[in-house]
A and B are shown apart, each in its own frame.
Chain A
Amino acid sequence: MYAPQILIEAALNGLMTGAVYALIALGLTLVYGVLHIINFAHGALLTCAMFAVWGASAWLRLDPYAAMLAVVPLMFGAGYALQRCVIGPASGGSDNNILLVTLGLSIVLENGLLAIFRSDTRTLDSDAALQVVEVGPLLLSTPRLIGFATALAVTGLLWLLLERTDTGRAIRAVAREKLGARLVGIDVDHVYAVTFGLGCACLAVAACLLMPTFYVNPRSGAAFVLVAFTIVVLGGMGSIAGALVGGLVVGVVESFSGLFLGDSLGQIGIFLIFILVLLVRPTGLFGVRG
């Protein structure tokens, strides 16, 4: 058995990674909850955002955290335009089509990145990844701590947006009652695009938080999105609170299974939980029966 200090560190590390997972899952669950589509392009869009952060750092010498101010609006705009000009019109109103359109989009994006950047793996050339803070007897990685705080803050902001603003109420209204929404003058296509943009903005924040300690290549988003799908199912499809709690749980589980089973088997715990949830509570922790 490990010393309690190591266990506590593993738990904290898991929570910190989990918060960033939660952010990625948040984008996925928001788009699912409102547009009722599973966005297969989520991973490719995350990769795009990570390349944007890498580019900002390599070419413009921007700090990855400062780059957030540019990458978040950029990804929001890209998401808005994608939904408004590509996904919406191409789907012709059928959910099956949207599934295919987002899948196709992910293939186009991934291969576009491959054409431009080749399959090389890139990292930020900064030493931020190695910095630690001492909290009592514990050593915590600074970028992960920043990631944790930022991810929680963004989740909180998103919640406030959805609960307290007209735009947020309109998003929730459209999620369940499109016709009623149009009759109070809500532009449903605009709300869809805003929601998709918000999902992409979550990815942009996640990319800025990941890049200091992670690498990017044209396929690196896919690994995170697999975990994000697990989180969305665990927390309940479409639930914001579910995405946050699910993300934290998955982070801790991954950290502990990595500790006990070795790094290469770290994700096995996640998928065990995934199967258990599907068996015992298919609607997820915060899900409502459809």
Chain B
Amino acid sequence: MLEVRGLRAGYGGTEVLRGIDLAVGAGEIVAVLGANGVGKTTLNKVLSGLVPAAAGEIRFEDRPIARASAAAIVEAGLIHVPEGRKIFPNLSVRENLVLGSYRRGRARRGANLERVFALFPRLKERARQAAGTLSGGEQQMLAIGRGLMAEPRLLILDEPSLGLSPLLVEEMFALVKDLNREGLPIMLVEQNVVQSLDLASRAYILENGTVALSGAASALAADPALRRAYLGL
């Protein structure tokens, strides 16, 4: 589905990604984990065409996308729900969702809107409200809903649990599981190591711009080095 080989990227003279290799297969949940500042968000930005790749290869459904524009990548169905939601605060909830299908999925916009409203009844109640007035959890739902409106072939979720209460975090991870059960492959980029490893089939641990560890999520969860570094055990 998604294959990344030897990916390098950065800002100005600072290299953030120093050769990343990873892959997401059809139907998988793959977790990309790591502390703040290891390059997770940069990786997402390169994958979605917001930051150019300096070197390396990105293939999505066997097509090279490392040099593609953000719009072309959305068009191909690689949808990125960003860290910090980045919803349109001045637009209504409904308009935010409608714009989710600006580039892709326009033909079935009405049906998809009903689907998102069925998934998040709270958004339906607030359809006419300005998105900026929603609570943090609702904004996260809106960001995911907006992503779903584009009929993703692969969904990248960047820190969906950030800033949510523990109860909402549970809900968010349950939702990711549900979406995946319907066949949607998901790349989950998280700092929340325990719950992400619980959910994912495979995981990559980033450190300092490279993949430090990778493998089956269950094996990583048992890895003594990882347990020491991230779980404090």
What is A's interface to B at a CB cutoff of 8 Å? 166, 169-170, 172-173, 175-177, 179-187
What are the residues of chain A within 8 A of B150 when measuring CB–CB? Answer: 184-185
Flag if A179 contacts B86 (CB, 8 Å): yes
Flag if A184 contacts B102 (CB, 8 Å): yes
Flag if A186 contacts B87 (CB, 8 Å): no
**Contact digits for B99-129, partner A, Cβ 8 Å, 1 yes 0 no:** 1101110000000000000000000000000
Flag if A184 contacts B89 (CB, 8 Å): no
Could you tell me the distance in whole angstroms from the C-beta of B114 to the nearest C-beta in chain A?
A: 19
Among residues of B, the one whose C-beta sits closest to the C-beta of A168 is B95
Could you tell me the distance in whole angstroms from the C-beta of A288 to the nearest C-beta in chain B?
A: 9
What are the residues of chain B within 8 A of A181 when measuring CB–CB? Answer: 88, 99
Q: How many residues of B contact A (CB 8 A)?
A: 28
What are the residues of chain A within 8 A of B80 when measuring CB–CB? Answer: 183
- B87 interface neighbour in A166, A180, A182, A185, Cβ under 8 Å: A180
Among residues of B, the one whose C-beta sits closest to the C-beta of A178 is B86
Q: List 8 A-B contacts (CB under 8 A).
A: A169-B99, A176-B90, A182-B71, A183-B70, A183-B82, A185-B75, A185-B102, A187-B69
The CA of A173 and the CA of B131, in the complex, are separated in Å by 11
**Contact digits for B16-57, partner A, Cβ 8 Å, 1 yes 0 no:** 000000000000000000000000000000001110000000
What is B's interface to A at a CB cutoff of 8 Å? 48-50, 69-71, 74-75, 79-82, 85-91, 95, 98-100, 102-104, 146, 150
The CA of A166 and the CA of B87, in the complex, are separated in Å by 16
The CA of A173 and the CA of B130, in the complex, are separated in Å by 12
- In the A-B complex, list the 10 residue pairs whose CB atoms are closest, starting with the nearest: A185-B103, A185-B74, A180-B86, A173-B88, A185-B71, A182-B70, A176-B90, A177-B88, A184-B102, A179-B86
Flag if A182 contacts B102 (CB, 8 Å): no
Could you tell me the distance in whole angstroms from the C-beta of B52 to the nearest C-beta in chain A?
A: 13
Could you tell me the distance in whole angstroms from the C-beta of B126 to the nearest C-beta in chain A?
A: 17
What are the residues of chain A within 8 A of B89 when measuring CB–CB? Answer: 176-177
The CA of A186 and the CA of B75, in the complex, are separated in Å by 10
What are the residues of chain B within 8 A of A176 when measuring CB–CB? Answer: 88-90
Flag if A166 contacts B86 (CB, 8 Å): no
The CA of A230 and the CA of B100, in the complex, are separated in Å by 37
Flag if B82 contacts A180 (CB, 8 Å): yes
What are the residues of chain B within 8 A of A183 when measuring CB–CB? Answer: 48, 50, 70, 74, 79-82, 86
Flag if A169 contacts B70 (CB, 8 Å): no
What are the residues of chain B within 8 A of A172 when measuring CB–CB? Answer: 88, 90-91, 95
